[in-house]
């Protein structure tokens, strides 16, 4: 399909705000193009990051937050972790300085066909599955964005025919203004990140920005059951879901593409009905773009998933250990629990995001034998789950929760780490939390 033309870069000089992975990549992309860059972060950066920034010609002013950082600056490039309410961002907007995100900057610098995917749950699994489908079809592809590889690190490194598959978070999308992917996918929408966005309406609006500027000829892949008439943009709608109506439909245990049988749902390698929906979204965007149905079928049969997403670590003494540390919100943990029929020993809890934990009560009551709570949200989780009658253990930390779950579990049971919360109270990332769980399992074998 033809690639949507990108607008030019905004004017420089640039202030790059936030010097984690995406901020450093954005600074490099700009200095490589001869732009003057001032790089700043509220915290002092490491010696390694400082040396890299200085070597590329950026002016490093870490640990500063004053308005004088904006002197002579025409555009601020904001890392996704920096909220728009941050004082320096607010001052820039008042002064008429353009503020864009690293996602928009990277998209403008690339000339490749571009697929953007967002949603509350399943993003990483699904972008990796789309990449797997392309590789199975023998097509060049690069997976980037919120999944790990900063988008602005890609310009100048790709095969011109490579497709970029980009995971886009609400934090990234809220800083887009012309962003118009050739194909955009929305997996689902559930309450998340209210600590950042304030209301579900604001969060929803950030997600739907993925469609807002798509022109005719682009593709917008959406769940059939989600009312998105106001999503914006002019792209062709492709739907996925249950019943006879969607383009990619599931009915009677079989997936169909526009009425033609694709494969039996049981052939999909990934566990759980939520992963069936992820697979349908991935297949839908690939088939709508003309990929070979045989390659799509083969990829759905062979894709085993990614780390920290319902990752089956081991079975020890008949007990399965499953790492779902990426379940950083309630909806994600709910579908994880429902992926098992019974005998679940759930480890949950973490840092506070203002979520409502009440929706966990029904699946916990139906599927769990015990719940082991960790982190700062443990008291609220305990209150939300007390009515289930399932034993609740306020274990405080993962090591103690794991030990108690192992002691209680028997053959045929599952010890499931699916926290329903972010990790920042006790870990630097959900990956670190998941690796700790892996290490604890390894000690049993």
Checking 135-138 for CB contacts under 8 A at 24+ apart, the result is: 135/299, 136/295, 136/296, 136/298, 136/299, 136/302, 137/286, 137/291, 137/292, 137/295, 137/296, 137/299, 138/295
Q: Specify whether the CB–CB gap between 70 and 92 falls below 8 A.
A: yes
Please tell me the distance from the alpha carbon of residue 311 to that of residue 325, in angstroms, as a whole number. Answer: 9
User: Does the annotation list 122 as a binding residue?
Assistant: yes
Cis peptide before 96 (omega within 30 of 0): no
User: Does the annotation list 78 as a binding residue?
Assistant: no
User: Does the annotation list 120 as a binding residue?
Assistant: yes
CB atoms within 10 A of CB 138: 8
Nearest Cα to Cα of residue 167 among 213, 203, 131: 131
Token readout for 310 is 């319902």
Nearest Cα to Cα of residue 382 among 349, 355, 354, 406: 349
User: Does the annotation list 119 as a binding residue?
Assistant: yes
Nearest Cα to Cα of residue 101 among 84, 78, 76, 117: 78
User: Does the annotation list 207 as a binding residue?
Assistant: no
Q: How far apart are the first and last CA of the chain?
A: 50
Please tell me the distance from the alpha carbon of residue 186 to that of residue 196, in angstroms, as a whole number. Answer: 20
Please tell me the distance from the alpha carbon of residue 440 to that of residue 30, in angstroms, as a whole number. Answer: 43
Q: Specify whether the CB–CB gap between 350 and 425 falls below 8 A.
A: yes
User: Does the annotation list 121 as a binding residue?
Assistant: yes
User: Does the annotation list 323 as a binding residue?
Assistant: no
| Coarse DSSP helix, strand, coil percentages of the chain, rounded to the nearest 5 percent | 35, 20, 45
Q: Residues forming the annotated binding site?
A: 119-125
Q: Residues forming the annotated binding site for ATP?
A: 119-125
């Amino acid at each position: 399909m033809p690639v949507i033309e990108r607008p030019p870069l905004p004017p420089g000089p640039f202030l790059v705000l936030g010097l984690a992975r995406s901020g450093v990549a954005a600074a490099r992309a700009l200095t490589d193009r001869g732009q003057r860059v001032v790089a700043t972060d509220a915290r002092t950066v490491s010696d390694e990051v400082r040396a890299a920034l200085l070597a590329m010609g950026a002016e490093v002013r870490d640990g500063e937050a004053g308005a004088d950082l904006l002197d002579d600056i025409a555009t601020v490039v904001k890392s996704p972790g920096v909220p728009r309410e941050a004082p320096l961002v607010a001052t820039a907007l008042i002064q008429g300085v353009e503020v864009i995100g690293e996602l928009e900057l990277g998209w403008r610098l690339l000339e490749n066909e571009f697929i953007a995917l967002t949603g509350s749950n399943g993003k990483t699994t699904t972008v990796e599955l789309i990449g797997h489908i392309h590789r199975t079809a023998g097509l060049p592809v690069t997976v980037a964005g919120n999944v790990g590889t900063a988008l602005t690190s890609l310009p100048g490194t790709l095969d011109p025919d490579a497709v970029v598959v980009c995971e886009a978070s609400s934090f990234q999308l809220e800083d887009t203004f012309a962003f118009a992917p050739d194909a955009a996918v929305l997996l689902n929408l559930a309450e998340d990140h209210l600590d950042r966005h304030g209301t579900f309406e604001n969060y929803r609006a950030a997600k739907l920005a993925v469609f807002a500027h798509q022109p005719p000829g682009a593709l917008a892949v959406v769940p059939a059951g989600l009312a998105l008439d106001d999503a914006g943009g002019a792209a062709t709608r492709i739907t996925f879901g249950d019943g006879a109506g969607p383009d990619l439909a599931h009915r009677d245990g079989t997936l169909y593409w526009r009425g033609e049988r694709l494969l039996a749902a049981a052939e999909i390698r990934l566990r759980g009905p939520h992963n069936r929906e992820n697979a349908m979204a991935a297949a839908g965007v690939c088939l709508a773009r003309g990929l070979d149905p045989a390659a799509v079928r083969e990829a759905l049969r062979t894709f085993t998933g990614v780390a920290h997403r319902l990752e089956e670590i081991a079975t020890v003494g008949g007990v399965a250990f499953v790492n779902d540390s990426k379940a950083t919100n309630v909806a994600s943990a709910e579908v994880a629990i429902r992926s098992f029929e019974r005998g679940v020993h759930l480890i949950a809890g973490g840092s506070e995001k203002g979520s409502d934990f009440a929706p966990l009560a029904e699946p916990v009551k139906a599927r769990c034998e015990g719940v082991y709570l960790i982190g700062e949200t443990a008291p609220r989780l305990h209150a939300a789950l007390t009515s289930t009658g399932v034993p609740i253990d306020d274990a405080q930390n993962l090591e103690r929760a794991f030990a108690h779950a192992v002691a209680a579990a028997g053959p045929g049971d599952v010890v499931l780490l699916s926290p329903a919360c972010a990790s920042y109270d006790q870990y630097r990332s959900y990956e670190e939390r998941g690796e700790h769980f892996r290490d604890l399992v390894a000690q049993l074998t």
